[in-house]
Structure 1
Amino acid sequence: MEQNLPELKKDIYLALRDGNLAHAEEIALNAMAEQINDPDLEEVLKVVRFWQNRAELLSFSEERNSGEILFEEWDRFVQFASENSLGNKKVIGAVKSYVFRTIIDMLIEYYRINPCKDRHSLVMLGEAFYEVGESEKAIQTLEYALSFPGDGNDIRVYLLLGDMYAEIGNDELAMVMFGEAFYLLPQMINLAEITYAPVAKLRKKIEEDGFSGNEVVEWVPVYGYIYKGLTVRRNLEYQDYMSLQQRIKEYEKSLKIDKKVVQIIVPRLINYYLWVFDYYLFQMKAQKGAKKVAERIVALYDELPEKDALMKRLRERTKAICQGLLEEYNSWDTAGAPPPEAE
């Protein structure tokens, strides 16, 4: 064979990137027939045959959201690659480029013929752009996705935008996105998937303080507020405030009757109250209301007596942070709104 192995591999990677699976397979088989022994060639054949067995998924169909289906299949391929110890990054990267560009084409075509646009598909499109290195298009698409109503359980768009904003150096917007995710559904967040350095540092500190399991993610927004890292939040609309008020009332009730989940309820309540504290202080300019909320936040640390030393430290730090903000803005309002639990 005239070409050496590195040149053959380059041809294979190009064929995979172009979606020419048959040609990639042919090159690998010919090389093996020439008694060229290389484990990468075996990996190429496994990858090629995985996708050849799913050839129908690589073709667009108007009868289904082909892009979404292919996106889901990529997750199965990642699992397949892990189970079969496929570690050649160039092989995986080449086929990934082909699959995700196919996903992009499919999602765009699906949108063209389907007038019912939804946030879920837009989020997938934004993620697909990101996976092929088109960060600007990814951010634009995900920002557009935010203009569509979500189902209340979709925090993926906020986590993706948080990581992407951080990558381009916009820490303020990154904090806003992560703050929103931790506000909406902290229990659905996998901290291991977040690459934003401040969140990773907060997680480490929380674990060092003795929290574990599901408790860790609940404390992230609280630690992020009092130790910095997640201090920038979006402004609440009035309907958001009313919804938050209702959440607080429900969790305050649960705190009294269900002590089995107090370790989760306390940090979640503190986070909610911190949102209200900011709302009163910065948006409503209602300092008296903010002060009452701060008092409730500080009192909540007493609900975890088994961690008395740690709670005392967190309580004092939170008290100092809130007091400092209240003093900084002490020229505002003399009336103030009552805290949610008192209304």
Structure 2
Amino acid sequence: MTEKDSASVLLSQAYELLREAELQGASERLDHALSADFESEEVLFALSCAAWWKERLARLDASSSAFERGEFILSQWKGFLAFQTRKTGDFDAARYAFKRFAFLTALREFRSLGPEDSESWAPELALRIGRCLKGAGDFAGALERLEPAARERKDAPELLAELADVYALVNETRTSKALFREAFFLNPQRIDVSFLECPALVRLVEHIRSLGFRSPELEEWIPVYGSLLGVFSVKRELKPIEVGRLRQSIYELENEVKENAERRSLLTPRLINRYFWLIDHYINAKEDRSRIDEVLLKIKLMDPAVHKQYVA
């Protein structure tokens, strides 16, 4: 066996260990792989990733709760994504192995919670465990956790968005689109888009970034451009009580946009999205065209470019 072949075998062993959340053993294999082939860019990339995670995990406070440790690991995933973007090369096997490592390591912490702690963290625990299972590639397990939690908390946008994401990954496209639309209507600010993997949504976020938007405004524009570009195209009829709440929300937002110039950039897309929902209701209810035109005029005055794209 050549040295390069030996390095390749050691790399495969390291990735297998990472997929089981065994960083120490994986690091040892990577060190041996480097000795066998010190010019391998993939080995160097994997070693840099291992060093990154070792340094972050060393910051874990042993006195903190298992939930807090799991939450810390998930928070580091965002930083790891940024770290990876600075590294060029086709290292998909390594990226996937470290992804599984991160989410399984966090999952191990969440699952180690005792009965009392699990109960106190129950509202957040289903979301975190579902997110970890999704990140580790166990979509069936993620659905098993997220579906009942979403039924109990229909007003939790972060749960609905996570569930929508898993549905997208198992090719339940219509359900995914409907849930994403609901989630981003409820409150875009409670949705962490860095954890979402749905290809259509990832492309949508990239498009909005290309227009110059950044958080927190970026999240507010997601449902607007999601509607314009067909990502949130699956809609439902509103109940009478929901129509009343929608109109009240629009009234309050219109006043806030007028009175609060500092928050206008955040509130404008939120209000436009509610206008979209109201127009959809008018169409479903077969309301007079004049009512739709009245809302369209409001959109045109707020953002002519959005209006032009909406009516095209």
TM-score (norm 2): 0.71
1:71 aligns with 2:74: yes
Give the secondary structure class of the aligned counterpart of 2:234.
coil
Aligned residue type for 1:250: E
How much has 1:249 moved relative to structure 2? 1.1
Task: Report the equivalent of 2:9.
Answer: 7
Q: Give the 3 Å change call, closer, same or farther, for CA 35–176 of structure 1 in structure 2.
A: closer
Q: Give the 3 Å change call, closer, same or farther, for CA 82–270 of structure 1 in structure 2.
A: closer
Aligned residue type for 2:97: A
Picking from 129, 141, 156, the partner of 2:133 is 129
Q: Give the 3 Å change call, closer, same or farther, for CA 69–86 of structure 1 in structure 2.
A: farther
Picking from 169, 172, 188, the partner of 2:171 is 169
Superimposed CA distance per residue, residues 150-202 of structure 1 (whole angstroms, 9 cap, x where no aligned partner): 8x7x6333333333323333332122122123323356778896745389579
Q: Conserved in 2, the CA contact under 8 Å of 1:203 and 1:217?
A: no
Task: Report the equivalent of 1:245.
Answer: 247
State how far apart, in whole Å, the 1-side matches of 2:31 and 2:201 are: 48
State how far apart, in whole Å, the 2-side matches of 1:147 and 1:292 are: 37
Q: Conserved in 1, the CA contact under 8 Å of 2:7 and 2:34?
A: no
How much has 1:258 moved relative to structure 2? 6.2
Aligned residue type for 1:105: R
Picking from 169, 177, 181, the partner of 1:179 is 181
State how far apart, in whole Å, the 1-side matches of 2:100 and 2:247 are: 46
The runs of 5 or more residues in structure 2 that have no matched partner are none
The runs of 5 or more residues in structure 1 that have no matched partner are 318-343
Q: Conserved in 2, the CA contact under 8 Å of 1:125 and 1:141?
A: yes
Aligned residue type for 2:135: E
Picking from 275, 297, 310, the partner of 1:299 is 297
Q: How many residues align?
A: 305
Give the secondary structure class of the aligned counterpart of 1:110.
coil
**Superposed counterparts of 1:251-290, under 5 Å:** 251-254=253-256, 256=258, 268-279=270-281, 282=284, 287-288=286-287
Picking from 226, 229, 232, the partner of 1:230 is 232
Q: Give the 3 Å change call, closer, same or farther, for CA 6–58 of structure 1 in structure 2.
A: farther
How much has 1:68 moved relative to structure 2? 1.9
Give the secondary structure class of the aligned counterpart of 2:72.
helix
State how far apart, in whole Å, the 1-side matches of 2:146 and 2:275 are: 29
How much has 1:118 moved relative to structure 2? 3.6
Q: Conserved in 2, the CA contact under 8 Å of 1:199 and 1:229?
A: no
Superimposed CA distance per residue, residues 81-117 of structure 1 (whole angstroms, 9 cap, x where no aligned partner): 4557697433343233233223223223326442124
Task: Kindly report the root-mean-square deviation, in angstroms, between the aligned alpha carbons of the 2 structures.
Answer: 4.5
Give the secondary structure class of the aligned counterpart of 1:18.
coil
**Superposed counterparts of 1:27-176, under 5 Å:** 27-33=29-35, 36-53=38-55, 54=57, 57=60, 64-82=67-85, 88-110=91-113, 112-114=115-117, 115-149=119-153, 155-176=157-178
How much has 1:130 moved relative to structure 2? 1.1
